[in-house]
Amino acid sequence: MTIVFKVSDNIKEKMIEYYMDKRKEKTPPYAIFQAVEADTVITLYESGKVMFQGISADIDANMWRDLEKHFNNIDVDTRSTEEKKKDEIDKSNYYFNAIGSDEVGTGDFFLPIVVTASFITKADISFLEKLGVHDSKKLTDEKIKRCAPLIMKRIPYEALILSNKEYNTYHEKGYNMNKIKAIMHNKVLYKMKEKNYPYEKIIVDQFALPGVYYNYLREAKEKVTNITFLTKAEDKNLSVACSSIISRYIFLSEQKKLEEKLGCPIPKGAGTKVDEAGIELVKKHGKNILNEISKISFKNTERILGK
């Protein structure tokens, strides 16, 4: 492991004193000293850069990071060079005007699938980061309800809601979940592309290999094909993160509507609480209610009707 960062002059002096008795005889070019501490080799350069190398490099580096923060209120980056390189690769799609899409609801028995495509420019990035959009998966429902309207007011988007009744019709035709998702992503992306926004990339949070994705769309008359497929795409371009948040906001609104219609809480997901709610709904409305409000292909249907 290798960790490199720059220290302030006062920390530099403390390091010189601390490692005085641990220095190696030979000093690399432009270095003040090179020392060994347990399993770590520490090299301090005249420029103020310090390099920690070895199995315990992070332990030694974090000690000086804490001192830098304590004395100078500076939070230095102690990620390894390997981690920084990985992050640079991940960020290679970050600073672009982009259309990105994401979905929610595919694992929910009672609630619909929502797919959204959004367009952001590089000028939107600072605004979105301040809202916490770059950590979209960590946002609570309450934070989603607060920040999504602000995003929807500023960021152009297209959203598509697939009711569970429509999902069941697709499933009866032999469409699997990924094919349904591909069709929905293609529809919202096509609508965004037709608006002629000055995008540089179209990004989809990858759920199928590109060849498989395009094969799902072979019957579609209107297709978007110039797509960059990325895993964990919401971290790599904020257009996808925005789409994730907007989809979740609409999803929560649909949950509220269904609860008001049925007069009872409707849980997310497909776990035990969903089964319990399903049993009560069947008792009250009859088993045909499941055809209207649930994805009947899920195992929950068997469990609910079996009880």
Select the more confidently predicted residue: 181 or 88.
181
Q: Is 80 exceeded by the pLDDT of residue 5?
A: yes
Q: Is 70 exceeded by the pLDDT of residue 107?
A: yes
Q: What pLDDT, on the 0 to 100 scale, is given for residue 69?
A: 87
Tell me: do 124 and 254 sit in the same domain.
Answer: yes
Please indicate, yes or no, if residue 247 is contained in any of the structural domains. Answer: yes
Q: What pLDDT, on the 0 to 100 scale, is given for residue 153?
A: 97
Please indicate, yes or no, if residue 243 is contained in any of the structural domains. Answer: yes
Q: Which residue has the tokens 């009560």?
A: 280
Q: Is 90 exceeded by the pLDDT of residue 82?
A: no
Tell me: do 244 and 279 sit in the same domain.
Answer: no
Tell me: do 224 and 204 sit in the same domain.
Answer: yes
Domain CATH code at residue 138: 3.30.420.10
Q: Is 70 exceeded by the pLDDT of residue 190?
A: yes
Please indicate, yes or no, if residue 62 is contained in any of the structural domains. Answer: yes
Tell me: do 67 and 184 sit in the same domain.
Answer: no
Q: What pLDDT, on the 0 to 100 scale, is given for residue 87?
A: 59
pLDDT tens digits, one per residue of 168-180: 999 999 999 999 9
Domain CATH code at residue 35: 3.30.310.10
The region, left, alpha or beta by phi > 0 then psi within -120 to 50, assigned to residue 109 is: alpha
Please indicate, yes or no, if residue 84 is contained in any of the structural domains. Answer: no
Tell me: do 186 and 214 sit in the same domain.
Answer: yes
pLDDT tens digits, one per residue of 233-287: 988 899 999 999 999 999 999 999 999 999 999 999 999 999 999 999 999 999 9
Tell me: do 244 and 125 sit in the same domain.
Answer: yes
pLDDT tens digits, one per residue of 20-73: 999 999 999 999 999 999 889 999 999 999 999 998 888 899 999 989 888 888
d(CA 248, CA 230): 20
d(CA 203, CA 234): 10
The residue segments making up the domain with residue 180 are 94-258
Tell me: do 238 and 131 sit in the same domain.
Answer: yes
Tell me: do 110 and 174 sit in the same domain.
Answer: yes
Average pLDDT, the chain: 92
Q: What pLDDT, on the 0 to 100 scale, is given for residue 89?
A: 56
Please indicate, yes or no, if residue 185 is contained in any of the structural domains. Answer: yes
Please indicate, yes or no, if residue 33 is contained in any of the structural domains. Answer: yes
Tell me: do 281 and 133 sit in the same domain.
Answer: no
Tell me: do 179 and 249 sit in the same domain.
Answer: yes
Please indicate, yes or no, if residue 85 is contained in any of the structural domains. Answer: no
Please indicate, yes or no, if residue 283 is contained in any of the structural domains. Answer: yes
Tell me: do 207 and 289 sit in the same domain.
Answer: no
Residue 251: Cβ within 10 Å count: 23
Instruction: Look at the chain and report how many structural domains it folds into.
Output: 3
pTM listed for this prediction: 0.73
- HEC string of the chain equals CEEEEECCHHHHHHHHHHCHHHECCCCCCCEEEEEEECCEEEEEECCCEEEEEECCHHHHHHHHHHHHHHHHCCCCCCCCHHHHHHHHHHHHHCCCCEEEEEEECCCCCCCCEEEEEEEECHHHHHHHHHHCHHHHHHCCHHHHHHHHHHHHHHCCEEEEEECHHHHHHHHHCCCCHHHHHHHHHHHHHHHHHCCCCCCCEEEEECCCCHHHHHHHCCCCCCCCCCCEEECCHHHCCHHHHHHHHHHHHHHHHHHHHHHHHHCCCCCCCCCHHHHHHHHHHHHHHCCCHHHHHCCCCCCHHHHHHHC
* CB 217, CB 175: distance < 8 Å: no
d(CA 2, CA 239): 33
Tell me: do 267 and 254 sit in the same domain.
Answer: no
Q: What pLDDT, on the 0 to 100 scale, is given for residue 81?
A: 78
* CB 270, CB 109: distance < 8 Å: yes
